Amino acid sequence: MKFKADEIASVLTGEIANFQGQLQTAEVGKVIEVGDGIARAVGLSSAMAGEMVEFKSGTRGMCFNLEENSVGIVILGDYLKIQEGDEVKTTGALLSVPVGESMIGRVIDPLGNPLDGKGPVITDQTRPIEFPAPGVAQRQPVKQPLQTGIKAVDAMTPVGRGQRELIIGDRKTGKSAVAIDTIINQKGGDVICIYVACGQRASSVAGIVEALREKGAMDYTIVVSASASDPAPLQYFAPYAGAAIAEHFMYQGKHTLCVYDDLTKQAQAYRQMSLLMRRPPGREAYPGDIFYCHSRLLERAAKLSDELGGGSMTALPIIETLEGEVSAYIPTNVISITDGQIYLEPSLFFAGVRPAINVGISVSRVGGNAQTKAMKKVAGSLRLDLAAFRELEAFAQLGTELDKATQTQLDRGKRMIELLKQPQYEPLSFADQVISIYAGTKGYLDHVPVARVAEAEKQLLQFIRDEKSEVRDALLNTKDLSGDTENLLKAALEAFRARYKYETAPAAAAAPTAAAAPKAEPKKAVAAH
């Protein structure tokens, strides 16, 4: 074998020409104290706030407190592997999370490590978990609806793309259920969903992932989980990691939905970290910057201007109250940051009204801008009807004789309450919601006994689908309840009323479809929650 000297010489010449002396430097310090997920190190004089550091064991941490003689580090992982005297070195990088299409359908921790046993997440793109929120000039008003599939929400507290709508209530009142139904309702749409489980029980997260998988929602959903057994720093960073993953898609012009379940636990994790770091406590022992902690997270939700691609990130933060105390520190903070709130009331929940939305306290500050024209037309009268019903109900409890008109209004109000009940994991399409609410507010269900309204609604929607599909198609195509469409809908409702005769005894329904099977449905719906 002969060597060609000129070839070797040309390769060497090329290598020498392209040679760049790259010197990698890292400042090395020493751990002087460790415990409770917090470490203190000396010798890192040039460390920056928020910079990643690496311990001898391979565990990573983040510079949280920069003090005169030492650096306070929050440990992102198992702090039991770190001992006093261990070396710790700076990395010069900010805390980042992997992003990209390969994340969809996966369950990960806030650092991007997979938790679903499906192997590593293969992506070469990362994004810092802390990122400045878009400015005023980079946004546009919220005008496009994000359908939740829940009648009471879409009609009275609508959510638009780029909005921040708070879900607030006591524990076990169906807060997560509202958020999960919203994610399931995006099936077949163009919204990528990120569900952040922060401080939840691992079994609850597993149940939610399984429910999403059953409904086919994991095809467009990413779950970021920092369970109750994870260290406080991971629980604190989880919502920011979720926001960073959503931002990657938003800046590509796509639409995203971020659910933070829940920010109360994140605030408690941040309080724990701050107190261990000896930061001065404020109200309810939370640190002074707890408001900024939530505001810089929620301000990242936006509808971007057309110049930036018109992408959006909708945030559904969840806050848990104690004994309905909406005026506590964290709830009032988050209420003041968001564009409205959906308040879930325990008394309604236990009375069987599910979702247990208190229509009086719940608001959407975007309002009709986040609704289609058809929904705006039918929902306007719904709010008024319910408000009038609440007044009359209080009056009727006095036991006074009521005239026929008042009694009719009272009866219709009861049917509307029944109509707004909805089983879990069964979101309705926009057209079905409009048909259902229109039928209720215009009195087409007045002949149905209150106990059988849910059954009648099911039969009505099935009747429209099977025999009057042109009504549904017109609603879906035009998104408006114009004169022609309304006439078609009225004719269909008249036909339904003529065919289905409901009597007080459940067994005496005229139609074969009103048999025993659908009758048991409302009970099942209650149990599902």
Residue with tokens 């650092």: 111
Q: Are residues 298 and 412 in the same domain?
A: no
Global pTM? 0.88
Which residues lie closer than 8 Å to 431 by C-beta, 6 or more apart? 472, 475, 476
Q: Is there a single domain that holds both residue 469 and residue 507?
A: yes
Note down the domain range covering 406.
Answer: 374-528
In sequence order, what are the beta bridge partners of 195?
A: 223, 259
Q: Predicted confidence band at 503 (pLDDT cuts at 50, 70, 90)?
A: low
**C-alpha of 95 from chain center:** 24
Kindly state whether residues 486 and 469 are assigned to the same domain: yes
Flag whether pLDDT at 191 surpasses 80. yes
DSSP per residue over 380-428, as a string?
Answer: HHHHHHHHHHHHHHHHHTT-----HHHHHHHHHHHHHHHHT---TT-PP
Cite the active site residues: 365
pLDDT band at 1 (very low <50, low <70, confident <90, very high): low
Identify the pLDDT of residue 127.
Answer: 96
Domain end, chosen from 321, 356, 371, is at 371
Cβ 28 vs Cβ 88: under 8 Å = yes
Q: Which two tokens stand for residue 515?
A: 């048999």
The band of 21, judged by pLDDT with boundaries at 50, 70 and 90, is low
| CATH for 38 | 2.40.30.20
13 domain residue, yes or no: no
Phi, then psi, of 260 in degrees rounded to 5: -105, 105
Are both 150 and 243 inside the same structural domain?
yes
Same domain (yes/no): 516, 367: no
Q: CATH no. for residue 271?
A: 3.40.50.300
Q: How many domains does the chain have?
A: 3
Condensed to tens digits (0 to 9), the pLDDT of residues 35-92 reads 889 999 999 999 999 999 999 999 999 999 999 999 999 999 888 999 999 999 999 9
When mean pLDDT is compared across 34-48, 195-209, 253-267, the lowest value belongs to 34-48
Verify that 336 and 265 share a domain, yes or no.
yes
Report the CATH number at residue 446.
1.20.150.20
Q: Are residues 192 and 259 in the same domain?
A: yes
**pLDDT tens-place string over residues 391-417:** 888 888 777 778 888 888 899 999 999
- Residue 119: inside a domain: no
172 and 246 together in one domain: yes
Which whole number is the average pLDDT over 494-521? 58
Same-domain check for residues 328 and 390: no
Select the more confidently predicted residue: 103 or 367: 103
CA distance 29 to 23: 19
How far apart are the C-alpha atoms of 454 and 471, rounded to whole Å? Answer: 21
In-domain check, residue 345: yes
Residue from 426, 504, 413 nearest 458 by CA:
426
Looking at the chain, how many residues does it have? Answer: 529
Q: Is the dihedral of CA 465, 468, 469, 474 positive or negative?
A: negative
Domain identity same for 311 and 451 = no
Residues 378 and 366 in one domain: no
Question: Which of 186-200, 277-291, 379-393, 496-510 has the weakest average pLDDT?
Answer: 496-510
